[in-house]
Each structure stands twice: as C-alpha cells, then as structure tokens.
Amino acid sequence: MSKIATLEIDGKKYEFPILIGSENEATIDISTLRSVTGGVTTFDPGFKNTSSCESKITFLDGEKGILRYRGYAIEELAEKSDFLEVSYLLIFGELPTTAQKQQFHKDIQKTALVDEDVKKILDGFPKSAHPMGVLSALTSALTAFNPKSVNVDSEGDMYRAVCKILGKFQVLVAWTYRKEEGLPLAYGHNSLGFVENFLKMMYESPIEDYKVNPLVVEALDKLLILHADHEQNCSTSTVRVVGSAHTGLFASLSAGISALWGPLHGGANQAVIEMLEAIKEDGGDYQKYIDKAKDKNDPFRLMGFGHRVYKNFDPRAVIIKETAERVLNDLKVNDPVLDIARNLAEIALNDEYFKSRNLYPNVDFYSGIIYRAIGIPVPMFTVMFALGRLPGWIAQWKEMRLNKEAISRPRQLYTGETLRPFVEESKR
C-alpha cells in the first residue's frame, strides 16, 4: 500500500505520495507542492534532505557502510573485477560478456589518439597551472574537436561517445602530468591493458624502456574502481545539472572536473599528504598531532579521518588499506612521510577519542599514501580521482538524459530588499 505524507499550512492539509526505493528508502514526492499550495517551496540548503533524481546506478548506505554499483557490492567488484569492466557496468547497467568486454576495450583503444592541435592548447598553459584546471579546460576543448552532439536516444551514438571520452581522457590526464614534469607528450600502446597503458603514457621516458609493475597496476585498478561512482555527490550533481540544459557530454564532464577540484570534495587526498609532510617538517612527532586533533581549543583535525556519510566505516578504506600495506611493503618504499602515516593511523585507531566518535581513516587517507608511493605528484592526486570518477559521471549524464529529466532550476527563499525607488547618482 502506498504511503502518504500530510502537510498542513494555515490549517489546510495537502497530501504527497511517499516513494519507496528498491532498498526501502523513503522520499516524499513534493513535485506538485508549488502548484497545489500556490507557490510554497521547500528550503534545503546544500540539498542534504533532497533526492534530486531517481537513479539506478549506485546505492550507498552511510550508516551500514554499504556501497554498491548496479547492485554489486564494492568489495566483490574490487576483488573480482577491473576498472574497464566496472566502467561498462556503471554506464550500460550490466557486467559485459567476454565478447562485449573485448569489443569495448578495442573501441576505446581506437579513439585513444587526441588531435595534435590539442597540444597547442596545452602549450598555452603555464607549467605552474594546477592540473585540474588544465584537465577541465582540455576536456571542454574536446567539444571543439568533436563538434557533433551526441544523440542520446541512439544506442550506437551514445556507445561511440562513451568510448571516445574513455579513450581520450586518459591521454589528457597523462599529458597534463607530462606538461608539469616537462616531459614530451606521449601516447600509449594498444597491446596493453587499460591501466597498464595509462601508466606507460604517464611514466615512459624517451631514453629508456618503461616496465609496468603489476603490483602498481593492481593497486591503481582498485583505486579507480573504488572512486568510480558515489551517487549524487557534488561533482556528479554538477554533471547532471549542467547536462540537464542539454549541454554536451564533454562540456558537462568538464564542469564536473571543476567541481571535483575543490578542497572540500576531491582535494582531501592532497590535504592528507600535506598534513603528513607538515608533521615531518615539525620533527615527526605524530603524538603531538594526535593530541592537537583531540584538543577542542585547537582547530586542527587529522586529515583523512572521519566521513560525512560513512558513520561506521568507509567500505572503500577497508579495501584499500590492505592494498596500501602491500604496495608499501612490496615496493620497499622508504619514505618517512609514509612511516608517519602508518604510526598515526595505528595510534588513532586505538585511541578512545577516535574510537568513541567512529573516526577511522577514510579512502582518501590510503589513496594519498598509494599515490605517493607510486610516484604521483601531490597536485595530480585529484586528477587521479577524476580519472576514476569519469565512468560514474558518464553513467549519470546518460541516465539523466534518458530519464528525460527537466532542466535543473531550483527556487530560492528571497531575503533581499523589497521594491524601492531608484536613487539618482548625485543622491547616493
């Protein structure tokens, strides 16, 4: 039996249906609120209580530490799948058959060349430019080189657009990095797997062969899977909002990259390493920083600890912790900053302050450590996050268009001046 929510305004009652999701989540459908009440709206800054859309892509339960893509548990996907397959799953809704997967990889590879003129755009950026700004601009510029808009109602057209962006985006990411490092811009090779190829594009030097380390491939593959989607977060909502104006795929993705850039969103992994470096510079006394984090008169917080949504544990952090340990051990990384990270995590996990508040290392704590161990420079951390989140953004953009969602256009509570007469310049 369907449930109803009743709202009373000035003695008048209005009824709204309560929609129940497939995981029994309830949401009040207020889509008729303005019309039936004559203009009343709801006020929800930051959309903390608002379901902005209906989606079949990702399910997340922060209280129980659950994250699923298309119904598959993140733990199983991280263990048994790979990033390419997870991308297909998110975007097209089902795990690919062997033939579909091979074809998907081939079709992505075919598009993994970027117009040589893009290099001229890249040349125009100063070396000091933040890589997220460069990546956002280059992704938007892809529209200029691929001006035909995607017909979302054509499966073939949509499939080709998906392959194109997956193929070209990794080249743009690698070029963004190489530009910063002053390295010649390189291409990958179609004989390699998706992640191996990406690593080759990033790190290959013109003066020696690049050997891909399988452990690094495995760690990066896992990290990309764990970051691939997280339902209606800030950058994903941005992609959907921009795309709701029927803005093209590449331009919508570019907007998502800009949203992810912010330190409150994708920038947290960078903040972790910066904190660890600051502790090292200060003599490496991590206990002092644990005490600072516990001191209510000190604004310092342990970066990479706690999470707004996951209140018991971050399922992604549980998975990646073990990978981080293996990467550090197997690569025999000798880095005092990473030693500080280990000690800090161990102390905090056994400390009553952190235990009683359910504060444990989140995914960004460990992803920062892995990126550092495999030689990715700190300003590139958020770019790596963008590479992982790309299939999620594409899936959400596609779903939004196929759902024929209306243009996103929220209302506001106006608290400014009411009508007043214009004041002549001489009288102001």
Residue 392 lies near ligand ACO (rule: CB under 6 A): no
**Shortest Cβ 11–ligand ACO spacing (Å):** 38
Binding track over 183-212 against ligand ACO, x by CB under 6 A: ------------------------------
Q: Does 361 bind ligand ACO (CB under 6 A)?
A: no
Q: What's the min distance (Å) between Cβ of 303 and ligand ACO?
A: 5
| Residue 302 found at the interface with ligand ACO (CB under 6 A) | yes
CA distances (Å), 24 to each of 1, 19, 358, in order?
13, 9, 25
- Quick check: 301 binds ligand ACO (CB under 6 A)? yes
For residue 17, what are the contacts with CB-CB under 8 A and spacing of at least 6?
2, 3, 4, 5, 28, 29
Q: Does 364 bind ligand ACO (CB under 6 A)?
A: yes
Residues 222-261, mask of contacts with ligand ACO (x by CB under 6 A) = ----------------------------------------
**Is-contact 6 14, C-beta < 8 A?**
yes
SS3 label, residue 80: helix
> From CA 105, how far away is CA 195, in angstroms rounded?
11
Nearest to 278 by CA among 297, 303, 261: 303
Q: Residue with CB nearest ligand ACO?
A: 306
Task: For residue 361, give the 3-state DSSP assignment.
Answer: strand
In the complex with ligand ACO, the residue whose CB is nearer, 200 or 307, is: 307
Among 306, 315, 388, 392, binds ligand ACO (CB under 6 A): 306
- Contact with ligand ACO (CB under 6 A) among 308, 409, 427, 428: 308
Token pair 């990126």 is at which residue? 371
Our finding on whether 342 is near ligand ACO (CB under 6 A) is no
Question: Residue 396 — φ and ψ, nearest 5°?
Answer: -70, -35
Please give the structure tokens belonging to residue 27. Answer: 């949401």
Q: How far is the CB of 311 from ligand ACO (least distance, A)?
A: 7
What the block records as the tokens of 172 is: 């743009």
Q: Which of 158, 253, 293, 390 binds ligand ACO (CB under 6 A)?
A: 293
The question of whether 364 is a catalytic residue gets the answer yes
Instruction: Using the minimum distance from each CB to ligand ACO, give the nearer residue, 163 or 271.
Output: 271
* 6 beta partners: 15
According to the binding rule CB under 6 A, does residue 305 interact with ligand ACO? yes
Considering 82, 221, 229, 364, which one is annotated as catalytic?
364
User: Which is the catalytic residue, given 82, 105, 307, 314?
Assistant: 307
**Structure tokens belonging to residue 52:** 């902005």
362 binds ligand ACO (CB under 6 A): yes
Backbone φ and ψ for 13, nearest 5 degrees, come out as: -100, 140
**Closest to 108 (Cα-Cα) out of 40, 161, 68:** 161
How many other CB atoms are found less than 10 A from the CB of residue 34? Answer: 13
Is residue 359 near ligand ACO by the rule CB under 6 A?
Answer: yes
Nearest CA among 112, 84, 136 for reference residue 201: 112
d(CA 15, CA 36): 10
Single out the segment in contact with ligand ACO by CB under 6 A; choices: 99-107, 253-261, 273-281, 357-365: 357-365
Of 243, 248, 256, 304, which one interacts with ligand ACO (CB under 6 A)?
304
Size of the site for ligand ACO (CB under 6 A): 14
* Annotation says 227 is catalytic: no
Please state the closest distance from residue 263 (CB atom) to ligand ACO, in A: 9
Q: Is 164 exposed, middle or buried (0-12, 13-18, 19+ CB in 10 A)?
A: buried
Residues interacting with ligand ACO, by CB under 6 A?
Answer: 268, 293, 301-308, 357, 359, 362, 364
Catalytic positions are: 307, 364
